[in-house]
């Protein structure tokens, strides 16, 4: 199991604790099975839960952007490879987090409070990417995904700064590292043309 996979599993446990913990003091520890839903856990705080919920929607748009570019036949193969890499990394996390939310009978509104400033693309941005072709599609995907990744890095940094759960913080740190590296790779591709 990779460190990222372990962190994802641990994040699931943290969010499970946050949603299913007892209604008593946040410092209370112990067996949390069979407790009421909706209170704060001993290890996860609201920042941890918000981070998880918002990352589902953020990742979903990254996968959608990747799908749009992967449907095109005339895109730079290096951009196609990057889109496949992004989708392969983020789709399993989405499915895992959605499964947990379903198991917990919780439907947090991850998009609440998230806007273009969080790196999310507008409908117009998505339409432009869908309609672009060739080198324009490659360039637009890279420009948009850089902005998208920068938003994810900012969200992850907020988790590092404000989260309590060690595993959620570790995942946020991994996102910062991985997506910062991808940002640099995308900037290099843009410079190379």
Q: How many domains does the chain have?
A: 1
- Helix ranges restricted to H, the chain: 3-20, 46-70, 77-103, 123-131, 134-162, 166-192
* Token couple for 15: 């969010």
Q: What per-residue confidence (pLDDT) applies to 47?
A: 78
Q: Report yes or no on 13 lying in a domain.
A: no
pLDDT band at 169 (very low <50, low <70, confident <90, very high): confident
Q: Report yes or no on 177 lying in a domain.
A: yes
Q: Report yes or no on 30 lying in a domain.
A: no
Q: What per-residue confidence (pLDDT) applies to 102?
A: 56
Q: Report yes or no on 11 lying in a domain.
A: no
pLDDT greater than 80 at residue 186: yes
Q: Report yes or no on 181 lying in a domain.
A: yes
pLDDT band at 170 (very low <50, low <70, confident <90, very high): confident
Range of the domain at 178: 44-192
pLDDT digits (tens, 9 = 90+) for 87-109: 999 888 777 666 544 544 445 65
Query: Average pLDDT of 163-185?
Result: 87
Q: Report yes or no on 21 lying in a domain.
A: no
Q: Report yes or no on 27 lying in a domain.
A: no
Q: What per-residue confidence (pLDDT) applies to 53?
A: 83
Q: What per-residue confidence (pLDDT) applies to 9?
A: 38
The CATH number for 81's domain is 1.20.1260.10
Q: Report yes or no on 147 lying in a domain.
A: yes
Q: What per-residue confidence (pLDDT) applies to 55?
A: 85
Who contacts 179 (Cβ-Cβ below 8 Å, separation ≥6)?
149, 152, 153, 156
């Amino acid at each position: 199991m990779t460190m990222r996979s372990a962190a994802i599993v641990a994040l699931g446990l943290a969010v499970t604790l946050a949603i299913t913990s007892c209604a008593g003091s946040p410092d209370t520890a112990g067996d949390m099975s069979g407790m009421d839903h909706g209170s704060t856990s001993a290890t996860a705080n609201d920042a941890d839960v918000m981070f998880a919920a918002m990352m589902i929607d953020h990742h979903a748009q990254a996968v959608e952007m990747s799908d749009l570019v992967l449907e095109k036949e005339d895109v730079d193969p290096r951009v196609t490879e990057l889109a496949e890499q992004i989708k392969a990394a983020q789709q399993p996390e989405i499915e895992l987090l959605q499964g947990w939310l379903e198991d917990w009978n919780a439907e947090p509104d991850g998009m609440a409070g998230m806007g273009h400033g969080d790196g999310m693309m507008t409908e117009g941005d998505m339409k432009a990417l869908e309609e672009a072709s060739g080198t324009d599609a490659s360039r637009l995907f890279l420009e948009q995904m850089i902005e998208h990744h920068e938003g994810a890095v900012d969200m992850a940094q907020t988790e590092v700064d404000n989260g309590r759960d060690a595993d959620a913080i570790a995942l946020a740190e991994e996102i910062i590292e991985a997506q910062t590296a991808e940002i640099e790779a995308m900037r290099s591709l843009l410079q190379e043309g």
